[in-house]
Structure 1
């Protein structure tokens, strides 16, 4: 048994960390902790699925509101821009104001923005609503994860909770495809937004009744220069990669924003070493396990779009699946990911640690991507599509559940919000980069295949299959890089779980 202050655990030195407060009671056990997990899970599912549920509704929304193909991407981009650029600020606001208050405000704002979008009568109104969804989602997501972190401090219960939460975060995109297909096909595209009101009301009622304030006594002050630098920097990065999906990489709006965003993030990192009250204290990211977890979320976020995005195209455009059938086709992946997440955090990580688990997940995900490159116009779901998606689900469960747990383990109460925000930021920025890169590579592959060929329907279909295979190969490359990175960075052996005993932080390992 090793007695170590939490912040010292993070950096090897530094002031003694306060134990988590507000949500931990009776030896770290909240009396309604499993109901709280249900509330947090509903809120997280709402935020994650909203990144994909609207994709299915876009053609219907476009026909209804009459906007052009060129403007269509802004329905997705507006959400990603606001969400990705404001996450770190949202996490720090949760530390400053109180996690319960920020959680409830985020829910209320997200619901209101969803109602606005569902009632949209113009393209501009819908874009504004999506941007507001992203902004309130940036408040909600880190507050939810930090509430989970401070509610579950018992190592065994924390493992179960993070297994479930990791599964929700990972499968939300697939659930969004299924739910979006059902709502669009049987009701109306507007219900892809209105459905959030149901999630939000249930979570708000539960949160108001069950949650405690969750505001640490030693509240940090807001780092205004750091906030401006990282918010604008992340905005530029997400915008640059989003712009690359529809414009050339040589377009000034692509490389210019990427260059500006990179420069601002470098200045932000420098400022964090000198700021009296840094927005993202280096003790949060310099711990090996925590830093490896953030990188794992970033890489997995980039790579998994090879499944959700291009396999969706394949099922609908090549195999001619309906939106609902496409969503159903992802259910085996969802089931495997949930089972893998829960088994990993409860059995594997406590025994072996993250070092063998996350790299194994990366290898399985990479293998699944390579397997998918064999798909062609004659492939069938049961024999050719489902087997690699089952492997993918197992691999993603190993990655997400473990990385989310270790990314927030042993964190000081006054850093819980910003540490949680880094998890979401890593996944969101990774997803934006992965989507842009894979779209560009796939489009180029299709164009190269068509050179010198008669553009018959069969040739066009084969060009599409070639583009999907290219995306799968590059996704496999992302996961292969993730294997190397996580194998090198994660500490060997079981993690040093945090328990709160009296006024000291105790690590058992």
Structure 2
């Protein structure tokens, strides 16, 4: 049991890192009411938190190399716990923005790469495969359990309790941190590559922010816009999103060139560009991004179905997601036994097939009336498949590098996770809105119970993208606009049916992405995972 005490500590840290964002997502309405703020301001806090993590993960990994990963892990937890306490006590949105988005975000940037690196330092061989399986399962389960925990605590007590509890957990982990071995060599240079830090943060920040804002600004066609003063920024009539992503890519190209020059001058870079030439590392990172794209998108779409079509509250949504959480954990914790004889390639491919089968089953249950049994089975199959995938990739990535590069590899892994999640929400979210707008307009135009004036209004509304709301909200809005009760009911029926079809199309996109993942998985290692973990 003693040898797994380190893993328990790292899993606890991983759990609160993942739990945090999902709790805030389900507590939005309560936070808005409690702080007397707006939904837009709370969404800004969520965006900034993700942006900080996505932009500075490489910086956090480098800090571990410079000052010791265990020390940075403990300091990061202290910062994170302080941010959680500030968030719990925040009297207004400004304090919450500071405590959660920036202080907690800064702590997470230090903690997450350290978790990955310290796992590799404390375990090898089959034990390392087991450890990464556990971390992958905990991360996935934490994301799925967030709505359940956050919803129950918010309704029974207050959202502040979750963040106060995180502070207590951080203190407990810090008190236990000495049992963690940090046997890796520190970097010979204590000099931070500030030029590389700025370029990487700017490039990654532009890409992450672009994907995060695609739901508000539109992916290509502007449905909203970046507004400066009274001027809306829509270059050449397009959304700012593709321009921000392209700018981020160009900045990252400049970052790699800068890092190569830094090495030529005999200085230590933020990241060695040669790492990405390592086939196993690169394939592991690409597969990780694909994994996060799928799960990020599905965690966006399924709660929309549960909350906007079935009108479930946050706690009820968490209960419906529970079969997925349980199956993820069971699959992740059973995978180390399979890793003794099965390769990551086969395990990930099997998991992707499970994701596709589970998603197909979910599509058959998407309707105005929930088939609880089949929905639970679909979620469980999806969760089991995802658990197999999540249990493999940490080992694939970290086993590809030596001790010197573990901090950088951990930073790359954290970056890939954040970008993948942002891409998944953007892609499935954009398809969902586009399909909803098109389907709603098509149904309305062919509905004989709607007047010509109403059809014209629907066409104009659909051109700019239809908001995701409940059927009852559409009907109430239609009656406020002066439609008769019968016409309002007919309009809301069209919207509800279009919403269901759009959700199905979004899940189909996730299946398509999983099919692409099968192609990517063919490039993963073919040796058993336990042997892979034993490599230096």
TM-score bracket for the superposition, by shorter chain length: 0.7 to 0.9
Instruction: Select between 409-418 and 95-104 the one with higher mean Cα deviation.
Output: 409-418
Partner of residue 194 from structure 1, selected from 164, 168, 192 = 164
1:214-293 matches, within 5 Å, as: 214=183, 216-219=185-188, 222-249=192-219, 250=222, 251=225, 252=234, 253-276=240-263, 277-293=268-284
Which residue of the partner structure matches residue 298 of structure 1?
A: 289
1:486-501 matches, within 5 Å, as: 486-487=521-522, 489-494=523-528, 496-497=531-532, 499=534
Partner of residue 28 from structure 2, selected from 48, 58, 61 = 58
Q: TM-score, normalised by structure 2?
A: 0.82
Which residue of the partner structure matches residue 461 of structure 1?
A: 496
Instruction: Select between 320-329 and 166-175 the one with higher mean Cα deviation.
Output: 320-329
Please tell me whether residue 151 in structure 1 is matched to residue 122 in structure 2.
yes
Which residue of the partner structure matches residue 179 of structure 2?
A: 210
Which residue of the partner structure matches residue 10 of structure 1?
A: none
Q: CA 1:355 to 1:215, structure 2 compared with 1: closer, same or farther past 3 Å? A: closer
Please tell me whether residue 481 in structure 1 is matched to residue 529 in structure 2.
no
Which residue of the partner structure matches residue 108 of structure 2?
A: 137
RCO comparison, higher one (Cα < 8 Å, 6+):
1
Q: Per-residue displacement from partner, 1:228-268 (whole Å, max 9, x unpaired)? A: 21111111111111111211234444233222211111222
Q: TM-score, normalised by structure 1?
A: 0.87
Quote how far apart the aligned CAs of 1:498 are: 5.2
Please tell me whether residue 308 in structure 1 is matched to residue 271 in structure 2.
no
Q: CA 1:405 to 1:213, structure 2 compared with 1: closer, same or farther past 3 Å? A: closer
Quote how far apart the aligned CAs of 1:418 are: 1.5
1:397-412 matches, within 5 Å, as: 397-412=387-402
Q: CA 1:395 to 1:274, structure 2 compared with 1: closer, same or farther past 3 Å? A: farther
Which residue of the partner structure matches residue 465 of structure 2?
A: none
Q: What secondary structure sits across from 2:217 in the alignment?
A: coil
Please tell me whether residue 117 in structure 1 is matched to residue 87 in structure 2.
yes
Which residue of the partner structure matches residue 389 of structure 1?
A: 379
Q: Residues of 1 paired with 2:430 and 2:422: CA distance? A: 12
Q: Residues of 2 paired with 1:93 and 1:39: CA distance? A: 20
Q: Residues of 1 paired with 2:532 and 2:295: CA distance? A: 29
Q: Residues of 2 paired with 1:317 and 1:436: CA distance? A: 19
1:318-467 matches, within 5 Å, as: 318-344=309-335, 346-451=336-441, 453=444, 456=489, 457-467=492-502
Supply the RMSD in Å over aligned alpha carbons: 2.1
Q: What secondary structure sits across from 1:373 in the alignment?
A: helix
Which residue of the partner structure matches residue 69 of structure 2?
A: 99
- Could you tell me whether the CA contact under 8 Å between 1:96 and 1:215 is conserved in 2? no
Quote how far apart the aligned CAs of 1:287 are: 2.5
Q: Residues of 1 paired with 2:111 and 2:181: CA distance? A: 16
Please tell me whether residue 85 in structure 1 is matched to residue 72 in structure 2.
no
- Could you tell me whether the CA contact under 8 Å between 1:368 and 1:391 is conserved in 2? yes
Quote how far apart the aligned CAs of 1:283 are: 4.5
Instruction: Select between 165-174 and 300-309 the one with higher mean Cα deviation.
Output: 300-309
Which residue of the partner structure matches residue 71 of structure 1?
A: 41
Q: Residues of 2 paired with 1:38 and 1:219: CA distance? A: 31
Which residue of the partner structure matches residue 23 of structure 1?
A: none
**Larger fraction in helix:** 2
Q: Per-residue displacement from partner, 1:361-417 (whole Å, max 9, x unpaired)? A: 223213322332223334435333111111111111111111111111152222111
- Could you tell me whether the CA contact under 8 Å between 2:280 and 2:400 is conserved in 1? no
Q: Residues of 2 paired with 1:184 and 1:394: CA distance? A: 28
Q: Residues of 1 paired with 2:198 and 2:246: CA distance? A: 17
- Could you tell me whether the CA contact under 8 Å between 1:78 and 1:130 is conserved in 2? no
- Could you tell me whether the CA contact under 8 Å between 1:97 and 1:215 is conserved in 2? no
- Could you tell me whether the CA contact under 8 Å between 1:86 and 1:138 is conserved in 2? yes
Q: Residues of 1 paired with 2:68 and 2:198: CA distance? A: 21
Q: CA 1:491 to 1:34, structure 2 compared with 1: closer, same or farther past 3 Å? A: closer
Give the count of matched residue pairs.
467
Q: Residues of 2 paired with 1:121 and 1:463: CA distance? A: 41
Which residue of the partner structure matches residue 237 of structure 2?
A: none
Q: Residues of 1 paired with 2:27 and 2:50: CA distance? A: 17
Q: Over alpha carbons, which structure has the higher Rg?
A: 2
- Could you tell me whether the CA contact under 8 Å between 1:306 and 1:369 is conserved in 2? no
Q: Residues of 1 paired with 2:206 and 2:325: CA distance? A: 33
Q: What secondary structure sits across from 1:374 in the alignment?
A: helix
Q: Residues of 2 paired with 1:66 and 1:482: CA distance? A: 44
Q: Per-residue displacement from partner, 1:114-133 (whole Å, max 9, x unpaired)? A: 11112222222212222221
- Could you tell me whether the CA contact under 8 Å between 1:37 and 1:148 is conserved in 2? yes
